[in-house]
Amino acid sequence: MTGRPAPANREHFSLPRPFAGGFSMSDPTVPSDASTVRASARGVRLVSPIPGPRARQIIERDRHALMTATKSSPIVAASASGVWVTDVDGNRLLDFAAGIAVHAVGHCHPEVVRAVREQAGILAHFAGTDFYYDLQVTLAEKIASLAPGSAEKKVFFTNSGTESAEAA
């Protein structure tokens, strides 16, 4: 980061902290007019500027209702499928994370939805860090069986990539 201010000819949408720098509404990847962008072969569809009018309302409500220092994107999700997220204004965007932390499985894959529903009907969560749990052992055995090499393999479950890196 150079510490230089943004060029004066760029229009910015002013948002409360943590969006201190605002978002460039003249960026060529962000349409200033919904009619300028049509659906592409890749599935991206922009029908309004980002953030659009509904998103701006939700961001403003968020500013008054939530304490946060982590939100850095003006995207307000309404639904998702696979790697695509549709925002509250109808824009369809590629979700480069497709989940968060250790849950990068995409959005709403039918087999994942089925498995989550099935498991939630049996047991939603049990602290495997404090108690023994058969399904956790079964998953660890499966993961270990997929790891290469002949040395003994053990699994250490964590909540995030940071915890995984620290444990390594």
Compare 125 and 77 and report the one with higher pLDDT: 77
- Decide if pLDDT at 108 tops 90: no
Tell me the domain boundaries of the chain: 12-94, 125-167
pLDDT at 100: 65
CB neighbour class for 68 (10 Å; exposed up to 12, middle 13-18, buried from 19): exposed
What average pLDDT does this structure show over 80-100?
Answer: 85
Task: Assess contact for 23 and 74: CB atoms under 8 A.
Answer: yes
pTM summary value: 0.56
Report the mean per-residue pLDDT for the chain: 76
Locus of tokens 């229009």:
11
Max avg pLDDT among 2-6, 36-40, 73-77, 128-132: 73-77
According to the 3-state scheme, what is the secondary structure of 45-60?
Answer: ECCCCCCCHHHHHHHH
pLDDT at 132: 83
- Decide if pLDDT at 164 tops 60: yes
pLDDT at 101: 58
Phi-psi sector, 149: left (phi>0), alpha (psi -120 to 50), beta: left
Note the CATH architecture for domain 12-94.
Answer: Alpha-Beta Complex (3.90)
Rounded to 5 degrees, φ, ψ at 92 are -110, 125
Query: In the chain, pLDDT over 90 holds for what percent of residues?
Result: 32
What average pLDDT does this structure show over 95-124?
Answer: 80
Using one digit for the tens of pLDDT, what is the confidence trace for 19-35?
333 443 344 444 444 43
